[in-house]
Amino acid sequence: MKSFRTDGLCLGFLVAGLLFSSAALGADVPISEKARAHFNAGVSLLQDPDGARYEEAYREFRAAYADSPSWKVLGNLGISAMKLERDGEAIEAFQKYLAQGGAAIDRDEKAQMARDLATLTAGVVQVELSSVPAGASIVDERVPLQGATVKNTYGPVADKLVVGVRPGQHRFTAHLDGHEDEVWTADAQPGSALQHQFTLKEAPVVVPVAPPPLAGSPVTSAVPPAQAQRPVPTGVYIGLVATGALAIGTGVVGGLSLAKHADFQSKNDGSDPGGAQTLRDSGKTLNLVTDVLLGSAVVAGGITAVLYFSRPTLTADHATLRLTPFAAPQVGGLSLAGSF
C-alpha cells in the first residue's frame, strides 16, 4: 500500500500488482486484459517521476472501470477525479469503493477514506444543468485565488446533467455544433445547489468571402457565357444619318437648280445674253451637284442596308463608317466607306 497527501486529504491508492493479483480478485468481477492494461497505465501516470499526471490517469481508470467494473478500480479513479476538481465523481467513486469493498478494505485505509469523503461531501456544490436544444457539451472553468484556471468538460447533456464542483467562481460555457455558445457565471458557495438552463441560438450562416489577390497575381473573374445576338453596328446609324442628310441636300440643291432654270427662261429673251449665260451655267452646276448628292444618298442608303442585313451574330461589334467629301473639276460629292 502506498499513500500520498493532496490538499490536506490523505488518500491511499493501490499499486497495480496488489489490485489485480490473482489472490486479490476473489469473488469480484472478472478483470479483462484490456482493463488491466488501462489500470496499470493509470498507476504509472500517477507515479510519474515528473509529477502525477491526473488528467491522463483519470481517463485510464475510467476506461478500466468501463471495461471491468470492479470496485478495486474506484479508489484510484476517485483520487484522480478529486485532483481534477470533479468532486461529484470523486464522491461517487469513494462511496462505491467503501460500500462494495467492505471487509476487504484495510481498516485504517477505510477510516481515512471515510474522513476524506466527509470533507468532500461537506463542501461540494451540486449544479444541475440542461440545454435547449439537448446535446450540448458543458465546459466548467473555475478561477482559484491562486494558481491556474481549473477546466473540466461534461456532457453531452441529454435531459439534465448534475455535477458536483468545488466552491468558488465558475464560468460554464455550453457548446453545440451549429449554435452560438452561451456562457453562465456563478458564485458557488460550499454545500449549495445551483440550477441553470442554457437556451442556445442557431449560429448565423457565414458566407465565405474570397481573399483579395496577392500583389502581382493575375486577376481572374468568371465570365458569363456569351448570348447569341445580332447587335446593330454603329455604322448603320451613321449611314442612316448620312443618307438622310444627302437626301435633304439633294432636295435643297434641286430646288435651287429649278429656280435658276426659271430665271434663265425669263432672261433668255436676247436683251441680256451675258446674264442669261451666267444663269445657264449656274443652273448646270446646281444640276450636277444635285445629281452627285442624289447618287451619294443612294450609295449611302445601299451601304447602310448592307451593314444592317449582313451584321454578324456577335456579342460585340466594331463596324465603322467614314463619310469623306471630295471635289474635282466639273464634279463633286461624298465618299462613304465602311468596315464590318
Write out pLDDT tens, residues 180-225.
Answer: 999 999 999 999 999 999 999 999 988 887 777 776 666 555 555 6
Identify the band that residue 100 occupies on the pLDDT scale cut at 50, 70 and 90.
very high
Asked whether the predicted pLDDT for residue 87 surpasses 80, the reply is: yes
Contact 304, 221 (CB under 8 A): no
125-199 in CATH: which number? 2.60.40.1120
Considering only 54-68, 170-184, 254-268, which range has the smallest mean pLDDT? 254-268
Considering only 46-55, 91-100, 297-306, which range has the smallest mean pLDDT? 297-306
Asked whether the predicted pLDDT for residue 292 surpasses 80, the reply is: yes
Asked whether the predicted pLDDT for residue 66 surpasses 90, the reply is: yes
Identify the band that residue 298 occupies on the pLDDT scale cut at 50, 70 and 90.
confident
Q: Which three cell numbers stand for residue 191?
A: 454545500
Give residue-wise pLDDT tens across range 32-42.
Answer: 999 999 999 99
Identify the band that residue 13 occupies on the pLDDT scale cut at 50, 70 and 90.
very low
CA 74 – CA 145 distance, rounded (Å) = 30
Residue 317 host element (H or E): none
Asked whether the predicted pLDDT for residue 329 surpasses 60, the reply is: no
Asked whether the predicted pLDDT for residue 81 surpasses 90, the reply is: yes
The maximal CA–CA distance of the chain, rounded, in angstroms, is 163
Asked whether the predicted pLDDT for residue 239 surpasses 50, the reply is: yes
Give the class (CATH, top level) of 2-122. mainly alpha
Cβ atoms within 10 Å of 292's Cβ, excluding its own: 20
Whole-number pLDDT of residue 274: 79
Considering only 21-25, 119-123, 336-340, which range has the smallest mean pLDDT? 21-25
Asked whether the predicted pLDDT for residue 107 surpasses 80, the reply is: yes
Identify the band that residue 48 occupies on the pLDDT scale cut at 50, 70 and 90.
very high
Whole-number pLDDT of residue 113: 86
Whole-number pLDDT of residue 211: 78
Cβ atoms within 10 Å of 142's Cβ, excluding its own: 18
**Alpha helices, DSSP H only, in the chain?**
16-19, 22-25, 33-46, 54-67, 71-83, 87-101, 107-123, 234-267, 273-309
User: DSSP per residue over 128-181, as a string?
Assistant: EEEEESS--EEEEEE--SSSSPEEEEE---SS-EEEEE-SEEEEEEEE-TTB--
Cβ atoms within 10 Å of 88's Cβ, excluding its own: 20
CA 77 – CA 54 distance, rounded (Å) = 10
Contact 250, 228 (CB under 8 A): no
- Residues of the chain above pLDDT 90, percent: 46
Model pTM score: 0.56
Asked whether the predicted pLDDT for residue 168 surpasses 50, the reply is: yes
Contact 308, 329 (CB under 8 A): no
Residue 29 host element (H or E): none
Asked whether the predicted pLDDT for residue 145 surpasses 50, the reply is: yes
Whole-number pLDDT of residue 9: 39
pLDDT, the chain, mean: 81
Whole-number pLDDT of residue 305: 84
Asked whether the predicted pLDDT for residue 154 surpasses 70, the reply is: yes
Whole-number pLDDT of residue 193: 96
CA 24 – CA 20 distance, rounded (Å) = 7
Chain center to CA of 21:
56
Nearest C-alpha neighbor of 260 from the set 242, 240, 277, 235: 277
Whole-number pLDDT of residue 49: 95
